[in-house]
Homo-oligomer: A and B are copies of this chain.
Amino acid sequence: ELGSFDKDINKIMPEYVKSFQFENSLLPSTWIVVRIDGCHFHRFSDVHEFEKPNDELALNLMNSAAVAVVEEFNDIIFSYGVSDEYSFVLKKDSWLYERHASQLVSAIVSLFTSMYVLKWKDYFPHKELKYQPYFDARAVCYPSSDILQDYLAWRQVDCHINNQYNTSFWMLVKSGKSKSEAQKCLKGTFAKEKNELLASQFSIDYNTMPVMFRLGSSVFWDKEEKMVDEAEVAGKFRKKIVVEHCNIIEKSFWKEHYHILE
């Protein structure tokens, strides 16, 4: 019933229609960061009654989705997540999807989302997933490993600042203050003051709170212990994906894990 039309269109049109396609190719030899962010996750976490200010299970679910992404795309050499965001770092010389921004961004965000929904029941066996969560994403290039490390440090500092604020905020709310009263209390306070407030009013030592809340999560391929009894050649290591909550602002982390940015 498409009649002769398909022959005609097949001969001439596709080239013209395709000429409108364009590729935004990311500069070669630069570190690509794809950062995904939850869309409307404020509402999503309310509806699904996530614990405030941090829901450990929800964070573990994010981490597990990130592990799946790191497993699937070999060119991802590091990833860092906090709250409802995750940054994936592709190695400098990756040619994944020919470095086309749209495809990199879409494939990574889609796989992450897929895993998030698929694994939901593992982390929340007694909580129904009431509607579909989704994320948006963007790509950024960093031309040197120094600036890349600055980028990651920036995300971890953000994690720290937000967590300190949110912890103080929710403690005040749970102690009976209204949300706007709690906001007023914290307005303009410095890190030190928030720590003192937590200590004096709530007997909380901020530095003893769970490290995942304070430092976020890093997912990367690490070197496993050398297994001598499996007759491995000395100096050879097996690699496995690890989820750690370490200080990535300090240069010592990058020195110790020098293989990541090599």
When distances are taken between beta carbons in the complex, the residues of chain B under 8 Å from A2 are: 156-157, 160, 247, 249
Who on chain B is nearest to A6 by CB? B157
Of the 9-residue stretches A25-33, A177-185, A221-229, which lies at the interface with chain B?
Answer: A25-33
Pick from B117, B131, B138, B153: contact of A106, CB below 8 A: B138
Question: CB of A170 within 8 A of chain B?
Answer: no
Taken together, the copies of this chain in the complex come to 4
In the complex, A161 Cα to B6 Cα: how many Å? 8
Whole-angstrom CA separation of A188 from B9 in the bound complex: 18
Q: Determine if A138 and B21 form an interchain contact, defined as CB atoms under 8 angstroms apart.
A: yes
Query: Which of A48-56, A95-103, A231-239 touches B?
Result: A95-103
Q: Measured between C-beta atoms, what is the minimum distance from A84 to chain B in Å?
A: 12
Among the 9-residue stretches A74-82, A108-116, A196-204, A253-261, the one with 4 or more Cβ atoms under 8 Å from chain B is A108-116
Q: Beyond A16-B150, A114-B134, A157-B9, is A143–B140 a contact (Cβ under 8 Å)?
A: no
21 cross-chain CB contacts under 8 A? A2-B160, A2-B249, A7-B191, A9-B153, A16-B147, A16-B150, A17-B151, A17-B154, A21-B138, A27-B143, A29-B143, A39-B110, A102-B102, A103-B137, A106-B106, A106-B138, A110-B112, A110-B134, A114-B117, A115-B132, A118-B131
A189 partner residues in chain B, CB cutoff 8 A = none
Instruction: Say yes or no: A154 contacts B107, CB within 8 Å.
Output: no
Counting CB contacts under 8 A, is A123 at the interface? no
Known contacts A39-B107, A103-B138, A25 near B22 by CB under 8 Å: yes
Give 8 closest A-B pairs by Cβ, nearest first: A114-B132, A143-B143, A106-B137, A111-B134, A110-B134, A117-B117, A107-B136, A110-B113
Q: Does A89 contact B (CB under 8 A)?
A: no
